[in-house]
């Protein structure tokens, strides 16, 4: 299960997703299965911490898109 947390030092859990990850050709990726509450808590261009599919190994990501075909998708790219 993916876990999304704030990157403000508090690491507040913003939501979880049992969805799938889909890679994009530009290196960004979608994770589906987020609820509307989670989607409403985040903003495009902002940075967060996202776990791997097992809920571990958090990485710093930036949101590039929210929404997409009613799948509860959020598109991320890794902060480098």
Helices (H) and strands (E) in the chain, counts: 1, 7
Global pTM reads: 0.92
Tokens 């939501």 correspond to 15
41-71 pLDDT, tens per residue?
999 999 999 999 999 999 999 999 998 667 8
Convert 53-76 to b/e letters by CB count within 10 Å (16 or more is b): eeeeebeebbbbebeeeeebbbbb
Percent of residues, the chain, with pLDDT higher than 70? 98
Closest by Cα among 79, 59, 66, 56 to 31: 66
CA distances from 67 to 6, 27, 42 (A): 19, 18, 11
């Amino acid at each position: 299960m993916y876990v999304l947390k704030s990157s403000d030092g508090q690491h507040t859990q913003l939501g979880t997703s049992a969805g799938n990850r889909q890679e994009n050709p530009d290196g960004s990726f979608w994770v589906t299965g987020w609820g509307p509450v989670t989607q409403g808590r985040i903003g495009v261009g902002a940075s967060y911490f996202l776990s791997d599919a097992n809920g571990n190994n958090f990485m710093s990501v930036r949101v590039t898109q929210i929404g997409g075909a009613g799948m509860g998708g959020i598109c991320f790219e890794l902060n480098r």
